[in-house]
Chain A
Amino acid sequence: MSFITPAFLVFFILFLLSGSLIQKFFGDRAFRIYLLAADFVFYSYTDYRFSFLLLFMTVSVYLCGLKAEKKPFFYLGIAIPVVLLGFFKYCNFFLKTAGFSTLNIILPLGISFYSFEAISYLCDIRRNRIGAEKDLIMFASYLCFFPNIISGPIVRVGDLLEQFKENRKISLRNIETGIQIMAIGYFKKMVIADRIAVFVNDVYAAPKAFSRLTIAFALLSYSLQIYMDFSGYSDIAIGISKCLGYDLKKNFDLPYLSGSVTEFWRRWHISLSSWFRDYVYIPLGGNRRGKTRQYLNLLIVMGLSGIWHGADWTFLLWGLINGLLMCLERPLFSAIQGIPAVLRKIIVYILISATWVFFRADSFVQVKDIFTALFTAHQGIFQPYLWSFSGFLMSFLYLLLIAWKKNENRLYDGYYLLQDLHTAKGLTLFCIFVGLLICLAYTAGNPFVYFRF
């Protein structure tokens, strides 16, 4: 079920109302079971078969977790999500690469996300960071938690399970905060990302038809689109969790204000970057084994990150290019620091926008077409797309606003400028914001970019 469908809005409102009643009259255990049932309803809405896969992974990882101190169980537990992910996501990729005909496999929604959560759970037990969860319902609530199951953020067990155990409540105060974060997420997704997607999709569908200026503008626009799309999704997930009483950590930290590619990756999709840091980069030796090994580790991590996003060579190359940029940056660190901060940010934005071409394109042929059309003189359609300008302008104004309000105690983690809905002023501003969201939203429908992963 997608967050931007009428079905989800109905589901969420009904769940919130019934959940709070169950919590009140039947207690926390009953609510936990009810939440788990809702998780499965949410997950199986698109295709009920996926829920069996989720159930299998949940139970098997739970059982392996109980015995994870023993190596065979630990490796078995790791193998289950890895094999399932490998089969569903990469089987056709390998078959295609080897020249065989592909199988008719449907990628289960969110498998990349909950597989990584399962792996981190087992690794954390093995490293004695956490104890194995004895309660299956509790563990299943963590792994199947509907707000983040489809597109993250990838939540560590220590972050969420503890909150479950605190028996947090659905309260008016939490709902007030949650719906405001959700509204910000919906605005980012439906007003900015989806509108810009219309233009970007046009240009990528026929790059040779467009002028160089238009293509360059589309590349810059895509950077904004994917940020608004994915961070919008994260915001909605964070907002939904907040309504239920749980706090998910921010997944983005204004990444386009980064002064280097390395910094960008610290601030972009934080839950994934930190996952790769903790479970791949550091175990490989991190930066403790000399420069050459550090660069190799960076390339391995970014390559894996690329292939995690999509089973295609374009994604792998996208990851490796980012890794290469990070490697190149390190010896040039002091020289880069000499560049004025604003200029550095602009250069990073342009570099990142160029690398997104590999991410967005369907094939290397399309990558070639985009860059050829960008760098060769030809007559093409000129499209100064208004929503891209509006998106940049709105982002800039929002940055100014949060800079202005940063000393007030109203900025929630994640730069959400929240209103006090108990006051007439706060409520009015919120109503206006929701009204603008209704007026300006792109309602013809564009799926979330990260649904593919």
Chain B
Amino acid sequence: MKNKTSFCIRNIFIALITSFIVLNLFCMFYYNVPVHLDCEDGSTDYIWEKNKRYIQMNEGIGYGRTNNEGYMETDDYHGEKADVLIMGSSHLQGLSIPQERNMSSLLQDLLKENVYSLAMAGHNLKVCVSNLNEALEKYRPDVVVLETNNIAFTHREIKTVLNDEVPQTAAENEGIIGLLQRSPFLRLAYSQYQNFITEERESRTDKDYADESRINELLQLIRQICETHDCKTVILYHPTLSLNDDGSLQVNTDERTGIWSRLCKENGITYLDMSEKYIEEYEKNRILPYGFINTKIGNGHLNVEGHRMMAEELYRILKEEH
């Protein structure tokens, strides 16, 4: 009986260790992204591990290497001035596409100038603005591009930015949590678990949207920071979209886009709304900027076509206005 129990325990131990190794090997080619680290200079809330190869096939097929600063940027940074600085969210980070096809790489090829991207997952416009001063101080760009897919901010959200109270995203890379994150299988399993237990996404109940004067205050803050660093600003807005029954494209452009456009102009900020470009590309080529061959069509993060569209539009507007 004792022998049988120890034999059983031995088998379980062997099975767990072996399968853990095999599953980690599998995940190294399926979902292997670096760990978050604290960003010491404050340009972003956090950075990725530096000089790490990554691969991600959960949404799209993305691969590449983080640079020497821990950004998903093709070029390393050695203290030089950036001509164009990109700040934005996971959309521009491009974890779901090959690195050399992300927007900053394409824009760099078009402009033949130094384009540097600080885009990070979770860095919406509020977070970017709260980090703007530090980023401009370090990279000294001529132009900064602030990407957002949402312009419907509430009074409270803008207030947190104006009062410099935007909560920081913690890196959580220490202790046992940090150790567990080293296993790509455990990271993926945790992410799957989070999705599994979240049956319904929280819907936004706070309808206290910011009025014009509040939006203007936010834009004035951006202008003020950029003027201090002698830098021009582009706000890049890209709305979500959906397909109608009749096959036409529904671009869900926020009704506030007109207000943003006018207020940006008044504050000397270039406002670029991707809506028209999306419609044009769809009507001409039936191409959508979001979604991948392994996810929902027209949904989720920007795909390679979305990055290309943005790079082309930014190139056009930078050539025209800057």
Contact = CB atoms under 8 A, between A and B. Distances in A.
Partners in one complex: yes
A380 B287 CA distance: 9
B85 to A, nearest CB: 34
Contacts of B46: none
Contacts of A27: none
A383 interface: yes
B243 A198 contact: no
Given A432-B19, A441-B192, A382 B286 contact: yes
B184 to A, nearest CB: 9
B79 interface: no
Contact of A424 (B10, B185, B189, B248): B10
Contacts of A439: 23, 26-27, 30-31, 185, 188-189, 192
Interface string B8-27: 10111011101110110011
Contact of A435 (B185, B195, B248): B185
A15 interface: no
A208 B244 CA distance: 9
A422 interface: yes
B293 interface: yes
Contacts of A158: none
**CB-CB nearest 6 A-B residue pairs:** A208-B247, A431-B19, A427-B15, A443-B195, A206-B243, A209-B247
Nearest to A5: B199
A445 B198 CA distance: 9
B202 interface: no
Interface in B223-259: 243-249
Given A431-B19, A443-B193, 11 more contacts: A6-B196, A199-B297, A205-B245, A208-B247, A209-B249, A383-B293, A387-B294, A422-B8, A424-B11, A439-B188, A445-B199
Interface string A380-415: 111111110000000000000000000000000000
Contacts of A18: none
Given A6-B197, A439-B189, A380 B11 contact: no
A171 interface: no
Contacts of A427: 11-12, 14-15
B296 interface: yes
25 contacts: A5-B199, A205-B245, A206-B246, A206-B247, A209-B243, A209-B247, A209-B248, A209-B249, A209-B286, A380-B247, A381-B286, A381-B287, A386-B293, A387-B294, A427-B11, A428-B22, A431-B15, A431-B18, A431-B19, A435-B19, A435-B26, A438-B189, A439-B192, A443-B192, A443-B196
Nearest to B245: A206
Contacts of B19: 428, 431-432, 435
Contacts, number: 101
Nearest to A369: B245
A269 B232 CA distance: 65
B18 A198 contact: no
Contacts of A46: none
Nearest to A379: B286
Interface of B: 8, 10-12, 14-16, 18-20, 22-23, 26-27, 30-31, 185, 188-189, 192-193, 195-197, 199, 243-249, 286-288, 293-298
Contacts of B288: 381
B286 to A, nearest CB: 5
B29 to A, nearest CB: 11
A436 B11 contact: no
A436 B26 CA distance: 9
Given A209-B243, A428-B14, A383 B23 contact: no
Contacts of A438: 188-189, 192
Nearest to B195: A443
A382 B195 CA distance: 28
A423 interface: yes
Contacts of B244: 206, 209
Interface in A414-453: 422-424, 427-428, 430-432, 435-436, 438-439, 441, 443-445
Contacts of A431: 15-16, 18-19
A202 interface: yes
Nearest to B284: A379
Most buried by B among A195, A387, A432: A432
Contacts of A205: 243, 245
B315 to A, nearest CB: 26
Contacts of A443: 192-193, 195-196
Given A205-B243, A439-B23, A424 B297 contact: no
Contacts of B293: 383-386
A6 B245 CA distance: 34
B14 A424 contact: yes
Contacts of A386: 293-294
Contacts of A445: 199
Nearest to A439: B188
Nearest to B30: A439
B10 A198 contact: no
Contacts of A444: 195
A423 B12 CA distance: 9
A260 interface: no
A314 interface: no
Contacts of B18: 424, 428, 431
A154 to B, nearest CB: 29
